[in-house]
Amino acid sequence: MQNVIECINLTHKYGKKLIFKDLNFTVQRGKIFGILGKNGMGKTTIINIMMGFLQPTSGRIMVLSEESHNLSPQTRARIGLLHEGHLAYDFMTVEQVEKFYSKFFTNWKKEFYYELMNKMDMNYDHKISRMSCGQRSQVALGLIMAQNPEIMILDDYSMGLDAGYRMLFLDYLLEYVHGNNKSVFMTSHIIQDLEKIIDDAIIIGYQKILLQMPIKEFVNSFHRYCFITDSESLQLEKNDIIKNFEVIKNKYSIYSFHDINEIKAYFKQKNISYEDLQETFMTLEEAFIGLTGKY
């Protein structure tokens, strides 16, 4: 299967501040790929580098086999880009913005856009600057769907949207992608909506990739174990086995990709005494926060 995006040893610093180091991932054709992470972890930075709006400190991203900082206009035409905050030409109306974009793309599917606008009962002479966040997001989505690109890059599509609009957005997206062999690269800090749609994901944390695997695999293999301990000065450390932990008085929760027996063996090896060790169920969101940390 062909890779549409390849990220190779990508490192970026703002001045002296390291944002992330040695990121590697690939996005395959026909798949929906997500970059998940809390705000401020560099998701938009990755997209800015990917679209050539930023020079990485080192490493590179190839998009449709072209260097990201030098994408040709023809390649850009094959990429639908949803900017952070559903950026749009505010000074145009619903109709003007469609008319404007239609001239740039040979495959322009006007009906996709107007179908969405009609569904929302939008006046065609409604100015974008006077729209709500949700309405604007539908305009932005309508435009990239009409563009009919090979890859959609969606930067934090959920920002400022309430649940209804998020659902609407994803419904349309899914319907559009499936069966068309389109690829999607999306970033988000809200995970639960994505569970059903994302094929593969990476979760980025402070300066590095925390995880790269399909979401379903993540849900199935990531566990939370709770136990109680008497030892006052129990010092846990994060490592390959314990990805993260939380302490409330003498109640401990640890997060791990290992099964309960391996945990028990680890405790034994470390001489940690425990009572009442058991796995507790997590939602995807809890698992996500468990991995990335609450803070």
Residues that bind other proteins (CB under 8 A): 48, 51-55, 69, 73-74, 76-77, 79, 81, 83, 85, 87-92, 96, 99-105
State the minimum distance, in angstroms, from the CB of residue 17 to other proteins. 12
Between 102 and 212, CB nearer to other proteins: 102
Between 92 and 226, CB nearer to other proteins: 92
Strand locations in the chain (E): 3-14, 17-28, 32-36, 58-63, 66-67, 79-82, 151-155, 183-188, 200-205, 208-213, 223-228, 244-248, 251-256, 275-280
Between 158 and 229, CB nearer to other proteins: 158
State the minimum distance, in angstroms, from the CB of residue 182 to other proteins. 17
Between 91 and 124, CB nearer to other proteins: 91
User: Computed over its alpha carbons, how large is the radius of gyration of the chain?
Assistant: 22
State the minimum distance, in angstroms, from the CB of residue 93 to other proteins. 9
State the minimum distance, in angstroms, from the CB of residue 165 to other proteins. 20
Distances (CA, A) of 43 to 3, 111, 202: 20, 32, 11
Starting at the edge strand that comes first in sequence, how are the strands of the sheet with 200-205 ordered?
A: 79-82, 151-155, 183-188, 32-36, 200-205, 208-213
State the minimum distance, in angstroms, from the CB of residue 8 to other proteins. 17
Between 93 and 256, CB nearer to other proteins: 93
